[in-house]
Protein backbone atom coordinates (compact mmCIF):
# COMPACT_ATOMS: atom_id res chain seq x y z
CA UNK A 1 0.00 0.00 0.00
CA UNK A 2 1.26 3.43 -0.95
CA UNK A 3 -0.14 5.32 2.02
CA UNK A 4 -0.22 4.81 5.77
CA UNK A 5 -3.40 5.21 7.78
CA UNK A 6 -2.70 8.84 8.68
CA UNK A 7 -2.21 9.71 5.03
CA UNK A 8 -5.31 7.78 4.04
CA UNK A 9 -7.25 9.73 6.65
CA UNK A 10 -6.11 12.99 5.08
CA UNK A 11 -7.14 11.82 1.61
CA UNK A 12 -10.56 10.79 2.97
CA UNK A 13 -11.00 14.23 4.56
CA UNK A 14 -10.10 15.89 1.27
CA UNK A 15 -12.58 13.69 -0.61
CA UNK A 16 -15.26 14.54 1.92
CA UNK A 17 -14.62 18.24 1.42
CA UNK A 18 -15.05 17.81 -2.35
CA UNK A 19 -18.19 15.72 -1.85
CA UNK A 20 -19.73 18.37 0.39
CA UNK A 21 -18.88 21.14 -2.04
CA UNK A 22 -20.26 19.34 -5.07
CA UNK A 23 -23.44 18.17 -3.37
CA UNK A 24 -24.16 21.44 -1.56
CA UNK A 25 -23.43 23.85 -4.37
CA UNK A 26 -23.78 22.06 -7.69
CA UNK A 27 -26.71 19.60 -7.57
CA UNK A 28 -25.20 16.42 -9.04
CA UNK A 29 -27.42 13.52 -10.24
CA UNK A 30 -28.54 10.85 -7.77
CA UNK A 31 -26.09 8.21 -9.01
CA UNK A 32 -23.23 10.48 -8.01
CA UNK A 33 -23.82 9.59 -4.36
CA UNK A 34 -23.67 5.90 -5.16
CA UNK A 35 -20.51 5.97 -7.19
CA UNK A 36 -18.62 8.49 -5.05
CA UNK A 37 -17.12 5.91 -2.63
CA UNK A 38 -15.45 4.18 -5.59
CA UNK A 39 -13.81 7.48 -6.53
CA UNK A 40 -12.48 7.74 -2.99
CA UNK A 41 -11.23 4.17 -3.21
CA UNK A 42 -9.34 5.11 -6.36
CA UNK A 43 -7.83 8.16 -4.66
CA UNK A 44 -6.72 6.10 -1.68
CA UNK A 45 -4.83 3.65 -3.86
CA UNK A 46 -3.66 5.88 -6.70
CA UNK A 47 -2.90 9.10 -4.83
CA UNK A 48 -4.96 11.15 -7.18
CA UNK A 49 -8.61 11.97 -7.38
CA UNK A 50 -10.63 12.32 -10.54
CA UNK A 51 -14.23 13.27 -10.96
CA UNK A 52 -16.36 14.25 -13.91
CA UNK A 53 -19.96 14.94 -13.02
CA UNK A 54 -22.88 16.73 -14.60
CA UNK A 55 -24.27 19.50 -12.47
CA UNK A 56 -27.67 21.12 -12.23
CA UNK A 57 -30.09 21.03 -15.12
CA UNK A 58 -28.06 23.26 -17.42
CA UNK A 59 -25.99 20.47 -18.97
CA UNK A 60 -22.80 21.81 -17.47
CA UNK A 61 -20.32 19.37 -15.98
CA UNK A 62 -17.38 19.79 -13.68
CA UNK A 63 -14.07 17.96 -13.92
CA UNK A 64 -11.87 17.74 -10.84
CA UNK A 65 -8.43 16.18 -10.98
CA UNK A 66 -6.14 16.41 -7.96
CA UNK A 67 -2.80 14.73 -7.33
CA UNK A 68 -1.73 14.38 -3.71
CA UNK A 69 1.59 14.27 -1.95
CA UNK A 70 2.57 14.44 1.68
CA UNK A 71 4.94 16.99 3.13
CA UNK A 72 5.77 16.02 6.70
CA UNK A 73 2.31 15.21 8.07
CA UNK A 74 0.29 17.34 5.72
CA UNK A 75 -1.49 16.58 2.48
CA UNK A 76 -0.65 19.03 -0.27
CA UNK A 77 -1.81 19.24 -3.85
CA UNK A 78 1.10 18.37 -6.09
CA UNK A 79 -1.00 19.31 -9.11
CA UNK A 80 -4.62 19.90 -9.96
CA UNK A 81 -6.89 20.88 -12.78
CA UNK A 82 -10.49 21.99 -12.35
CA UNK A 83 -12.65 22.53 -15.43
CA UNK A 84 -16.21 23.61 -16.01
CA UNK A 85 -17.59 22.24 -19.29
CA UNK A 86 -20.63 23.35 -21.22
CA UNK A 87 -23.26 20.99 -22.66
CA UNK A 88 -21.08 20.29 -25.72
CA UNK A 89 -18.12 19.45 -23.44
CA UNK A 90 -16.23 22.59 -24.36
CA UNK A 91 -14.23 24.02 -21.47
CA UNK A 92 -15.69 27.25 -20.10
CA UNK A 93 -13.23 27.98 -17.31
CA UNK A 94 -10.18 26.08 -16.09
CA UNK A 95 -8.00 26.44 -13.02
CA UNK A 96 -4.64 24.73 -12.61
CA UNK A 97 -1.26 25.10 -10.97
CA UNK A 98 1.15 24.71 -13.88
CA UNK A 99 3.90 27.30 -13.47
CA UNK A 100 3.79 28.60 -17.04
CA UNK A 101 2.00 31.88 -16.37
CA UNK A 102 3.31 34.62 -14.12
CA UNK A 103 1.05 37.55 -14.98
CA UNK A 104 -2.66 37.94 -15.54
CA UNK A 105 -4.24 39.34 -18.68
CA UNK A 106 -3.93 42.86 -17.30
CA UNK A 107 -0.20 42.46 -16.82
CA UNK A 108 -0.36 42.14 -13.03
CA UNK A 109 1.57 39.43 -11.22
CA UNK A 110 -0.55 36.43 -10.27
CA UNK A 111 -1.67 36.81 -6.67
CA UNK A 112 -1.15 33.12 -5.84
CA UNK A 113 1.40 31.91 -8.36
CA UNK A 114 1.44 29.25 -9.77
CA UNK A 115 -2.33 29.00 -9.30
CA UNK A 116 -4.28 30.68 -12.07
CA UNK A 117 -7.57 30.52 -13.89
CA UNK A 118 -8.38 30.60 -17.60
CA UNK A 119 -11.64 32.54 -17.64
CA UNK A 120 -14.59 32.42 -20.04
CA UNK A 121 -12.64 34.52 -22.54
CA UNK A 122 -9.53 32.33 -22.24
CA UNK A 123 -7.74 35.07 -20.32
CA UNK A 124 -5.34 34.33 -17.47
CA UNK A 125 -6.62 35.51 -14.09
CA UNK A 126 -5.41 35.21 -10.51
CA UNK A 127 -6.83 32.26 -8.63
CA UNK A 128 -6.46 31.28 -4.98
CA UNK A 129 -5.89 27.58 -5.66
CA UNK A 130 -8.84 26.77 -3.42
CA UNK A 131 -11.41 24.40 -4.89
CA UNK A 132 -14.09 26.23 -2.90
CA UNK A 133 -13.44 29.37 -4.97
CA UNK A 134 -13.60 27.44 -8.21
CA UNK A 135 -16.90 25.81 -7.28
CA UNK A 136 -18.30 29.20 -6.24
CA UNK A 137 -17.42 30.57 -9.66
CA UNK A 138 -19.00 27.56 -11.35
CA UNK A 139 -22.21 28.25 -9.44
CA UNK A 140 -22.48 31.76 -10.80
CA UNK A 141 -21.86 30.56 -14.37
CA UNK A 142 -24.17 27.55 -14.35
CA UNK A 143 -27.10 29.36 -12.71
Interface contacts to other proteins, rule CB under 8 A:
1-2, 12, 16, 19, 23, 30, 33, 36-37, 40-42, 44-48, 50, 63, 65, 67, 78-79, 81, 83, 91, 94, 96, 98, 100
120 close to 105: Cβ distance less than 8 angstroms: no
Bond before 50 cis per omega within 30 degrees: no
Minimum CB–partner distance for residue 140 and other proteins (Å): 21
Minimum CB–partner distance for residue 109 and other proteins (Å): 18
CA distances, 47 to each of 10, 93, 103 (Å): 11, 25, 30
Reduce the DSSP state of residue 109 to 3 states and report it: strand
Residue among 36 and 142 whose Cβ is closer to other proteins: 36
Residue among 16 and 108 whose Cβ is closer to other proteins: 16
Minimum CB–partner distance for residue 31 and other proteins (Å): 11
d(CA 18, CA 14): 6
Amino acid sequence: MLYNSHQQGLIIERCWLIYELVTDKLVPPDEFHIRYPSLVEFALTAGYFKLLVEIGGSGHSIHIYEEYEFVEYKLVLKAYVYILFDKAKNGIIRADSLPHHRIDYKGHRLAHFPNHLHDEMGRICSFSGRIEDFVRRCCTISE
